[in-house]
Amino acid sequence: MDQPLPTDHPGSVDHKRRLTALRKRLPPYLLSLPAGLWLLLLFIVPLLIMLSITLKTCSPASGVCVMTWNWGELPHVVNLYHPQFITSLVFAAIATVIDLVISFPIAYWIAFYGGRKKNFFLIMLLVPFFVSFIIRTLVWEFILSNNGIVLTFLKHNHLAPSNFHVLGTGLAVIAGLAYNYLPFTALPLYVALERIDRRVLNAAYDLYANRRAAFMRVILPLTIPGIFAAFLLTFIPAFGDYVNQEILGGTSNTMIGTVIQNLFLIDSDYAGGASLSVVLLIISLLGIWLYARLLGSRTIEEYL
Amino acid sequence: MEHVNNEAMNTEGIDPSFWRGLTQPRFSRRQALTASGLGLGAALAGSMGSATMAGAASSVGSKSWWKSQKLHHTLNFANWPYYIDVLAGKHPSLQNFTKQTGIKVNYFEVIQDNASFYQKIRPSLAAGQYTGYDIVVMTNNNPQLGYLMQLGWLVPLDHAMMKNFNKYAGPLIKSPSWDPGNKYTMAWQSGWTAIGYNNKKVKNPGDSVDILFNKKYAGRVGMLSDPFELGSVGLLAIGVEPAKSTESDWAKAAKKLQQQKSDGIVAAYYDQSYIQHLKNGDIDISMCYSGDIFQADLNSKYKDLTLLIPHEGAMLWTDNMCIPKYAQNPLDAMTAMDYFYSPVTQSVVEYYNDYICPVPAAKQQLLHPTGWNKAALASLKPEIGLPYSVTANSNVVFPSPARVKASKPYYNFKSQTEIDAWTSLFLPIIQGA
């Protein structure tokens, strides 16, 4: 009985060929291993932990969570807090649009007319944001308070009715959001405008485009990935923000971030807080997916 | 809170023994091994640390346990801000305590509200470790004090050491409904949650909680953002005693409060910051804590602020000193807690504090100081700028029998389900859009 040599036998031709193939295929995976581990440990694992908490039942007394496969928690809290989700969406959207309107001219001016002092102007734009986020917001509370400088001046000169107030209103929250997230809009816009090839603009003029047409048909389309990136970078953190609402807002404009913070830190409702966080995350990921779908994933690495 | 038993705490469908296992520290296999190892060593060597023996043999808070404790001449005391006499950044009553007993006190003003402070100490307690504090001060109108009791996270007090307390504690706080027999707690101070208003803006306040629901003051009324305070005032407004209320009463009260909000009467739901808004004139009427209004009145700038105890009654809350389990200096804590029940000590604390004094006899000590308080009060006087008699005769600090009668206790929750039912009714009013 002559047994044939197993083809897998070390030293066999087949085995060698397989090893070379593996050696060729493996490097990309090995090279992406650090990034993959990073993603796994700092994103996927925490995400799974959070998802598992949404199915648990936690005791507010002991803080102990027990897995009860409670699928009802997520729909329950979404049903309970959907008005706050809507408030957050509206506030974050308005603040983002305000930021885009304010920072586009600034970024445009620095990119096209900044000359050699571009970096200086950029630093000027960022200097206020070197101060802590909380302190900046607290100072806004001071400025906008009923007896603060702005309202006292307005009321004293009869520019506003005596019962006019800003603090505690949605307006104050939107203003705070717009102020605090301005750099997140301005910088991607600047990057987008800065990289526009000036020769393309000259070509447009050569083809008898006036300034308006050149802006509308050349500059604006070329900045669209930047605008979208700016939108995402501002909208996503503003959507989940709770500091501005907590400090500048009142009772009728609670945002979802405030609710999550209360559920986690005061009410010990970990399942509820985790459920709302998951919904928040899904909405944010939808935004990024939309961006990738419309503008391609290549631009994500360039702008975000 | 005493009624909240372990069984009631369970979330539906969970085996009670499972909960106990998760929430209560157990004698683990490793500890057992260590202990037997020690025993073996002791048998061989013929000697053994008696403290370890006593600690293992008697349960925490028992007579023998207390006997085995020693003074460490140090004490870590966690309290709410602005709640003890202050002179030039120091606390005369604590300085004197150190002088008398040699116990050095580290006083931390770290408690801003019950829920978040509870969350800070809970992980240590659950892990069976020292929280860093030997005395913490928790309010009876929130569930957290009850949680601490029912999870066995408080050290039962040594009644043999409560000499001043047994002699001088006032009727409002002696053996209270939330801690019968003062098993775990001794009151620090009490106060009413009542109504404060600006008498320049509000001319005919009347004597009813209805003032909070009057459309005449739309947008000028502040309410408290604590769901237990808000719900209680809602119950008073519909004519129900909170302590005797039922779940259907709660729903009616919530409806009344929701109506008040949708009528635009409520300017906002405030935490402690309401007093600043009242002082600033952002609001004219607000639910308030009695001591805040008394203190504001002392400043000539805010003389317009007036306290109203409605005929429906005012909620009486008490902040309670207690010793969290695994405290490193329980004997020092016990010594300090009883020290604060001396009328001499309390007169100094109260001259600064202006909440309801747990020691009625402190009134006489304020009028005619006889001990170390003589010098302490004299040194505080320029700072406070008031004759002692104003505090001593204040109906807010030493309440009249009528005021004592008007004091209403909070509802005692019997289970977590009840707490959830309450908060799910009143929290949406505060947080809702």
How do residues A103-157 score in pLDDT, each as one tens digit? 999 999 999 998 899 999 999 988 988 899 899 999 888 888 877 888 888 888 8
Residues contacting residue B289 through CB under 8 Å, at least 6 positions apart: B191, B192, B193, B194
Token representation of residue A240: 């989940």
Nearest to B150 by CA among B410, B425, B337, B412: B412
| Domain interval for residue A16 | 8-54
Strands B285-289 and B221-224: parallel
Distance CA B69, CA B66 (A): 5
Asked if A68's CB is within 8 angstroms of B147's CB, the reply is: no
Residue B53 has pLDDT above 90, yes or no: no
The position carrying tokens 């949406």 is B428
Residues of A in contact with B433 (CB under 8 A): 83-84, 86-87, 252-254
Question: A20 and A149, same structural domain?
Answer: no
Residues A60 and B4: beta-carbon distance below 8 Å: no
Q: Of B6-10, B48-52, B264-268, which one has max mean pLDDT?
A: B264-268
Residue range A219-246: average pLDDT? 91
Which range, A204-218, B6-20, B320-334, is most confident?
Answer: B320-334
* Distance (Å, whole) CA B398 – CA B354: 9
Q: Which of residues 135-194 of B touch A (CB under 8 A)?
A: 143, 147, 150-151
Provide the pLDDT for residue B296.
81
Answer yes or no: do A24 and A92 share one domain.
Answer: no
Measure CB to CB from residue B431 to each of A254, A265, A268 and give the nearest one. Answer: A254
Is A50 domain-assigned?
yes
Cα dihedral: A189, A195, A201, A204 (round 10): -90
Q: Which residue has the higher pLDDT, B205 or A165?
A: B205
Q: Which of B22, B266, B419 lies closest to A64 in CB terms?
A: B22
Subunit contact A57:B14, Cβ cutoff 8 A: yes
**Does residue A91 lie within any of the structural domains?**
yes
Q: CA–CA separation, A98 vs B330, rounded Å?
A: 58
Which pLDDT does position A5 carry in this prediction?
53
Residue A86: its chain B contacts at CB < 8 A?
A: 433
What per-residue confidence (pLDDT) applies to A7? 54
> What CATH number did the domain enclosing A155 receive?
1.10.3720.10
For residues A108 and A25, membership in a common domain is answered with no
Determine the distance in angstroms separating the CA of A246 from the nearest CA of chain B, rounded to an integer.
11
Q: Helix axis angle, A256-265 relative to B416-431, nearest 10°? A: 150
User: Same domain, yes or no, for A199 and A271?
Assistant: yes
Question: Sorting pLDDT into bands at 50, 70 and 90, what band is A301?
Answer: low
Average pLDDT, chain B: 85
CATH 3.40.190.10 placement within chain B: 66-190+318-396, 191-316+409-431
How many of the other CB atoms lie within 10 Å of CB of B105? 20
Cβ-contact B351, B388 below 8 angstroms: yes
Query: A221 and A294 share a domain?
Result: yes
Nearest-Cα residue of chain B relative to residue A146: B282
Cα torsion through B389, B395, B398, B403, rounded to 10: 160
The predicted pLDDT at position A60 comes to: 84
The number of C-beta contacts closer than 8 angstroms across A and B is 83
Mean pLDDT over each residue of chain A, to the nearest integer: 87
Question: Is the predicted pLDDT of residue B21 greater than 80, yes or no?
Answer: no
Averaged pLDDT for residues B8-12: 39
For chain B, what is the largest distance between any 2 Cα atoms, rounded to a whole number of angstroms? 84
Record: contact A61-B143, CB cut-off 8 A: yes
Q: At what angle do helices A73-113 and A182-194 cross, to 10 degrees?
A: 50
Residue A200 has pLDDT above 60, yes or no: yes
Average pLDDT over residues B117-129: 94
Chain A positions in Cβ-Cβ contact with residue B431 (cut-off 8 Å): 84, 251, 254, 258-259, 262
A-facing residues of B in 321-350 (CB < 8 A) are none
Residues A120 and A198 in one domain: yes
Closest Cβ opposite residue A146 in set B18, B147, B282: B282
- CA–CA separation, B85 vs B94, rounded Å? 9
The torsion angle over the Cα atoms of residues B358, B361, B365 and B371, rounded to 10 degrees, is: -90
Total domain count for chain A?
Answer: 2
Euclidean distance between CA atoms A250 and B270, whole angstroms: 9
Indicate if the pLDDT at residue A6 is higher than 80.
no
- Say if CB A263 and CB A61 are below 8 A apart: no
- Model confidence at B380, in pLDDT bands (50, 70, 90)? very high
Best residue in B4, B7, B11 to probe A by mutation, most A CBs within 10 Å? B11
pLDDT digits 0-9 by tens, A41-76: 998 999 999 999 999 988 888 888 889 898 988 998
Residues of A in contact with B116 (CB under 8 A): 265-266
A185 touches chain B (CB under 8 A): no
Q: Please give the pLDDT value at position B243.
A: 92
Question: In the structure encoding, which two tokens stand for residue B378, read together?
Answer: 């004299």
Q: How far apart are CA B2 and CA B154, in angstroms?
A: 13
Using the Cα atoms of residue B191, residue B195, residue B199 and residue B204 in order, give the sign of their dihedral.
Answer: negative
Task: Identify whether A63 is part of a domain.
Answer: no
Do A127 and A160 lie in one domain? The reply is: yes
Closest partner CB to B116 (pick from A80, A86, A266): A266
Task: Say if A136 falls within a structural domain.
Answer: yes
β partners of residue B206: none
Residues of A in contact with B416 (CB under 8 A): 59-61
A209 and A170 within one domain:
yes
Task: Give dist(CA B160, CA B172) in Å, integer.
Answer: 22
Q: What is the pLDDT of residue A300?
A: 65
Given a contact cutoff of 8 angstroms between Cβ atoms, the answer to whether B224 and B314 are in contact is: no
* Position A235 pLDDT exceeds 50: yes
Nearest to B190 by CA among B407, B412, B413: B407
Any idea what the Cα angle at residue B12 is, between residues B231 and A47, rounded to 5°?
Answer: 90
Residue B10 in contact with residue B16, Cβ under 8 Å? yes
pLDDT digits over B143-186, tens only?
999 999 999 999 999 999 999 999 999 999 999 989 999 999 99
Q: What dotted CATH number matches B66-190+318-396?
A: 3.40.190.10
Read off the pLDDT band of A267 (50, 70, 90). Answer: confident
Q: Mark which residues 219-258 of A lie under 8 Å from B by CB.
A: 250-254, 258
Inform me whether the C-beta atom of residue A14 falls under 8 Å from chain B C-beta atoms.
no
> Cα angle vertex B355, ends B352, B357, to 5°?
95
How many CA atoms within 13 Å lie on the side-chain side of B256? Answer: 22
Say yes or no: A38 and A146 in one domain: no
Rounded Cα distance between B337 and B318, Å, is 15
| Segment (H or E) for A278 | helix A270-295
Q: Which has the higher per-residue pLDDT, A246 or B345?
A: B345
Query: Is residue A204 situated within a structural domain?
Result: yes
- Taking alpha carbons only, the member of B159, B195, B209 closest to residue B337 is B159
> For residue A60, is it within any domain?
no
Give the CA radius of gyration of chain A: 27
Query: Measured between CB atoms, does B33 come within 8 Å of chain A?
Result: no
Indicate if the pLDDT at residue B78 is higher than 50: yes
Beta-ladder partners of A182 = none
Where would I find the beta strands (DSSP E) of B145-206?
A: 185-198
CA distances from B283 to A163, A165, B211, B267 (A): 11, 12, 13, 7
Show the CA angle centred on residue B4, arms to residues B2 and B10, nearest 5°: 155
- Report d(CA A112, CA A194) in Å as an integer: 7
Is there a contact between B344 and B365 (Cβ–Cβ < 8 Å)? yes
Q: Decide: B151 and B21 in contact? Cβ < 8 Å.
A: no
A68/B contact by beta carbon, under 8 A: yes
Residue B228: CB atoms within 10 A of its CB come to 24
In whole angstroms, what is the distance from residue B357 CA to residue B354 CA? 8
Identify the CATH class of B191-316+409-431.
alpha beta
- Please enumerate in sequence order all residues whose Cβ is within 8 A of that of A31, keeping only pairs 6 or more positions apart, or say none: none
Task: Note the pLDDT of residue A287.
Answer: 83
Per the domain annotation, does A65 fall within a domain?
Answer: no
**B332 versus A266: which is more confidently predicted?**
B332
With CB atoms and an 8 Å threshold, state whether B281 touches A63: no
- Please state whether beta strands B314-322 and B266-270 pair in parallel, antiparallel, or not at all (unpaired): unpaired
Measure CA B189 to chain center.
7
Name the packing angle between helices B343-353 and B92-101 (round to 10°): 160
| % of chain A beyond a pLDDT of 70 | 93
How do residues B243-276 score in pLDDT, each as one tens digit?
Answer: 999 999 999 999 999 999 999 899 888 888 888 8
- Sign (positive or negative) of CA dihedral A26, A29, A34, A40: negative
Spatial distance between the Cα atoms of B309 and B307, rounded to a whole number of angstroms: 7
Average pLDDT for residues B126-150, to the nearest whole number? Answer: 94
Computed over its alpha carbons, how large is the radius of gyration of chain B?
23
DSSP string for B266-320? EEEEESTTHHHHHHHTS-SEEEEEHHHHHHHHHSGGGTTEEEE--TT-EEEEEEE
* Chain A interface includes B421 (CB < 8 A): no
The number of residues making up chain B comes to: 433
CA–centroid distance for B37 within its chain = 44
DSSP sequence for A155-187: HHTTSS-TT---TBSHHHHHHHHHHHTHHHHHH
Torsion of CA A98, A103, A106, A107, to 10 degrees: -150
Count of alpha carbons within 13 angstroms of residue A263, beta-carbon side:
23
Tell whether the torsion through CA atoms of B16, B21, B26 and B31 is positive or negative: positive
Is the distance from CB of B241 to CB of B306 less than 8 angstroms? no
**Cross-strand partners of B137:** B321
User: Would residue A66 count as lying in a domain?
Assistant: no
Q: Which range has highest mean pLDDT (A245-249, A253-257, B326-330)?
A: B326-330
Under DSSP, is residue B76 helix (H, G, I), strand (E, B) or coil? Answer: strand
B119 vs B83: CA distance, rounded Å:
21
Residue B205: phi and psi, rounded to 5, are -70, -25
- B143 contacts A60? CB cut-off 8 A: yes
Q: How confident is the model at residue B319 (pLDDT cuts 50, 70, 90)?
A: very high
